[in-house]
């Protein structure tokens, strides 16, 4: 399952009749979600940039959830974007940290649909007001998705709309947003990203049992490592047993970069992995603490039911 990070940009959720409904739906129906309520986290508008960037790095899907204020996002969310989307994080020569993550803009609009028309009082369709976010996504390497939005989402007691109608529209909005999230989560690219994340999470632990690995390996696996070439399940078990004699458990693999290409018959995956680990004193590394950077190339196949199999596994130290 893909990890979803929701950036809630409403400046005062306690006064919201719709965004709260949508956020509650996401919280209750997604298995892996981090809902970051900016109004609670940063009432003083002092954004913790490191914390926000760390949250985004973990995301497979990023949702910007907000009310549509004066044809754009609220000031709090704009401040968040200005502070977090920095040089060499979101753009620049090293700014690939958000590359290939999915972006969804999800927002509530007060006015009726016919107001956003050349003959309406707002003159322009909603999609034209989205160009700045769309271009931001392109610059950061994010995958821009068609926005999810709903009109007539303002409730003013006794003046404008009925509460039950507005909240019914909010629930429908939440269902449409969840449908898009589930569609994206089940894309081959996001399935592979989740598979890779789970693979290295298991590698961090270095547990003795190898069955969770071999179920994902082809019988004729070709594995080229710095230590040599290993073939098939038995070859993987030999390599893994050797690794467990060198590296202590609770090491840390960080996926710094992932690039996935569909080659028709399978998938070509290029990875940049950082390994931070302690070694045993009786190993050939004599108890050193390591901080290694390696490039990995995997050749994968995926069955109709989403089962992923590794056929080739190449590791090259940087």
Q: What single string gives the DSSP state of each residue in the chain?
A: ---EEEEE--S-GGG-SSHHHHHHHHHHH-SSEEEEEHHHH-TT----HHHHHHHHHH-SEEEEEEE-BTTB--HHHHHHHHHHS-BTTTBSTT--TTTT-EEEEEEE-SS-GGGSSTTSTT-S-HHHHTHHHHHHHHHHT-EE---EEES----BTTTBS-HHHHHHHHHHHHHHHHHHHHHHHTSHHHHHHHHHHHHHHHHHHT-S--HHHHTTEEEEEEEEETTEEEEHHHHHHHHHHHHHHHBPSS-EEEEEEEEEEE-SSSEEEEEEEEEEEEB-TTSTTTT-EEEEEEEEEEEEEE-TT--EEEEEEEEEE-
Burial class (CB in 10 A: 0-12, 13-18, 19+), 216: middle
98 has pLDDT over 70: yes
Q: Which residues pair with 295 in a beta bridge?
A: 272, 316
Question: In this model, does residue 1 exceed pLDDT 70?
Answer: no
pLDDT in tens, 37-95: 999 999 999 999 999 999 999 999 999 999 999 999 999 999 999 999 999 999 999 89
pLDDT tens by residue, 263-313 = 988 999 999 999 999 999 999 999 999 999 999 999 999 998 889 999 999
Domain spans, the chain = 4-186, 189-317
pTM: 0.74
Q: Which residue has the tokens 């309520």?
A: 37
Architecture per CATH, domain 4-186, reads as: 3-Layer(aba) Sandwich (3.40)
With a cut of 80, say whether residue 243 has pLDDT above it.
yes
Question: What is residue 186's predicted lDDT score, i.e. its pLDDT?
Answer: 85
Q: Residue 163 — pLDDT band, cuts 50, 70, 90?
A: very high
Mean local confidence (pLDDT), 245-271: 93
Per-residue tokens: 23: 């956020």
Q: Are 120 and 161 in contact (CB under 8 A)?
A: no
Residue 100 has pLDDT above 90, yes or no: no
Q: Which pLDDT belongs to residue 194?
A: 86
The answer to whether domain 189-317 has CATH 3.40.50.300 is no
Given this model, what pLDDT does residue 161 score?
85
The percentage of the chain sitting over the pLDDT mark of 90, rounded to a whole number, equals 90
Q: Please choose, from the candidates 147, 7, 17, the residue with its C-alpha nearest in 3D space to the C-alpha of residue 65.
A: 7
Residue 105, token pair as written in the block:
């803009």
Contact 43, 37 (CB under 8 A): no
Give the CA-trace dihedral at 74, 80, 86, 91, to 10 degrees.
-50
């Amino acid at each position: 399952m893909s990890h979803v990070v929701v950036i809630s940009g409403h400046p005062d959720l306690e006064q919201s009749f719709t965004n709260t409904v949508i956020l509650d739906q996401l919280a209750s129906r997604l298995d892996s979600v981090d809902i970051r309520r900016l109004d609670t986290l940063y009432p003083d508008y002092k954004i913790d940039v490191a914390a926000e960037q760390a949250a985004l790095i973990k995301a497979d899907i990023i949702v910007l959830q907000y009310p549509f204020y004066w044809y754009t996002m609220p000031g709090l969310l704009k401040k968040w974007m200005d502070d977090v989307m920095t040089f060499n994080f979101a753009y620049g020569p090293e700014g690939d940290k958000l590359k290939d993550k999915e972006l969804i803009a999800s927002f509530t609009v007060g006015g009726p649909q016919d107001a956003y028309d050349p003959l309406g009082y707002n003159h322009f369709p909603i999609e034209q007001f989205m160009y700045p976010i769309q271009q931001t996504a392109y610059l950061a390497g994010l995958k821009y998705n068609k926005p999810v939005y709903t009109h007539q989402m303002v409730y003013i007691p006794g003046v404008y709309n009925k509460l039950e109608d507005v909240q019914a529209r909010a629930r429908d909005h939440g269902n449409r947003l969840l449908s898009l999230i589930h569609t994206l989560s089940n894309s081959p690219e996001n399935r592979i990203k989740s598979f890779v994340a789970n693979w290295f999470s298991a590698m961090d632990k270095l547990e003795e049992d190898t069955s969770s690995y071999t179920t994902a390996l082809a019988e004729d696996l070709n594995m080229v490592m710095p230590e040599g070439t290993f073939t098939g399940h038995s070859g993987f078990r030999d390599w893994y047993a050797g690794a467990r004699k060198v590296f202590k458990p609770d090491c840390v693999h960080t996926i710094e970069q992932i690039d996935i290409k569909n080659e028709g018959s399978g998938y070509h995956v290029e990875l940049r992995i950082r390994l931070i680990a302690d070694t045993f004193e009786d190993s050939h590394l004599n108890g050193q603490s390591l901080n290694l950077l390696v490039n990995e190339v995997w050749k994968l196949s995926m069955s109709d039911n989403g089962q992923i199999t590794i056929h080739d596994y190449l590791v090259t130290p940087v």
